[in-house]
Amino acid sequence: MTRPLKLAQIGFGGIGLTVAELLGEDEDFEYVAAAARPHRADAIRERLGAVPLVDTPDAVIAAEPDILIECASHQALLDYGAPILEAGIDLVAVSVGALADQNERLLLIAAAEKGDASLEVPAGAIGGLDVVSAARHTGIERLAYVTRKAPRLWKGTPAEDMIDLDAVTDPLMFFDETAAEGARIFEEKLNVAATLAMAGVGFEQTRVELWADPAYPRSTHIIELEAASGTMKIELANTVTPVNDKSSWLTAASIAQAVKRRRALLKF
């Protein structure tokens, strides 16, 4: 019988706790370390039992996981990414807006090469990455990420400094820039744009449009592609996790699927 894959995880907010629920009871996987803020300890143990709680990359490495799951923050990815990959531990990461910085991106790629490990980026809150990455081989002419959501859902983001959210009564596009600029300004809010950019034509060639739109009560992601191999337009309106009303349930499921695929005999 094949032994369970050993997992470590950074980040146990709404997404991270949902990932732990999806993977924690699967016999194909065993959690050997959890890195999170101290106030998350009870919630982690409720889902994963007596898993060791750690707070440094060295402590994660000492636990000897096969895979580290990152669903914490840009800074966590930058702090843990290189040492984990250099140690030969595969990394599944979602805070990839941090990789809009080319130097940081090249650093992680070099660390993965040195450690003979891999950095995998799940689709997260969007879909169609298989089409985008395949179309890259035929030539992509245009790639855009558009998000529409109600003005109230933009509160607590840099959008508050760009427009008067309380005054929006009609659809309003308040940001039209490259994925590089979007990731720099909106950070974690645009991890999906960074994912799309890396799967396709890069940060400078991928466009980002952000809309405050009262007609969209949920966060809605739209991917638009024009390529030599064809065109695509998909729209996803995501629901939030039961744990946190600001975290995408699909993102958590996407992370879990990326990990579960490691053990699947029939892969999708």
Q: What is the pLDDT of residue 143?
A: 98
- Residue 176 has a pLDDT of 98
Based on the fold, state whether residues 180 and 99 are members of the same structural domain. no
Residue 243 in domain: no
Cα–Cα nearest to 73, from 85, 83, 81, 64: 81
In a domain? residue 197: yes
Predicted pLDDT of residue 243:
84
Instruction: Please answer whether residues 130 and 194 qualify as being in contact, where contact means their C-beta atoms are separated by less than 8 angstroms.
Output: no
Pair 109, 15 in one domain: yes
Task: Identify the pLDDT of residue 1.
Answer: 54
Residue indicated by tokens 């859902």? 153
Amino acid 114: pLDDT = 98
Res 253: pLDDT: 95
As to burial, measured by CB atoms within 10 angstroms (0-12 exposed, 13-18 middle, 19+ buried), residue 226 is middle
The verdict on 141 and 58 lying in the same domain is: no
In a domain, 109, yes or no: yes
Residues 104, 145, single domain; the answer is: no
- Structural domain boundaries, residue 174: 129-237
Q: What is the pLDDT of residues 205-242, one digit of tens each?
A: 999 999 999 999 999 999 999 999 999 999 999 898 88
**In degrees rounded to 5, what are phi and psi of residue 147?**
-125, 135
Same-domain check for residues 120 and 135: no
Q: Is residue 17 part of a domain?
A: yes
137 has catalytic annotation = no
Q: What is the DSSP letter of 213?
A: -
* Domain shared by 210 and 165, yes or no: yes
Do 13 and 146 belong together in one domain? no
Strand partners, 230: 227
Q: Which of 39, 74, 137, 221 is catalytic?
A: 221
Instruction: Provide the CATH number for the domain around residue 181.
Output: 3.30.360.10
pLDDT reported for residue 256:
97
Give me the count of residues in the chain: 268
In the prediction, which pLDDT does 15 show?
94
Cα–Cα distances in angstroms (integers) from residue 143 to residues 58, 98, 177, 197, in the given order: 39, 20, 12, 8
Question: 134 and 115: one domain?
Answer: no
Tell me, yes or no, whether 75 and 146 share the same domain.
no
Distance CA(163)–CA(100), nearest Å, equals 25
For the chain, the domain total comes to 2
242 is a domain residue: no
3-state secondary structure 145-189: EEEEECHHHHCCCHHHHCCCHHHCCCCEEEEEEEHHHHHHHHHHH
| 106 SS3 class | helix
Q: Give domain status of residue 267, yes or no.
A: no
CB burial of residue 90 (10 Å; 0-12, 13-18, 19+): buried
**pLDDT lower than 70: segments of the chain:** 1
Alpha-carbon span 242 to 147, nearest angstrom = 22
- Residue 240 has a pLDDT of 87
Q: With respect to residue 160, please indicate whether it lies within any of the assigned structural domains.
A: yes
User: Do 9 and 21 fall into the same domain?
Assistant: yes
d(CA 159, CA 174): 8
Which CATH number fits the domain that encloses residue 64?
3.40.50.720
Residues 112, 160, single domain; the answer is: no
Inter-CA distances, 208 with 3, 216, 222, Å: 43, 18, 10
- Does 268 fall in a domain? no
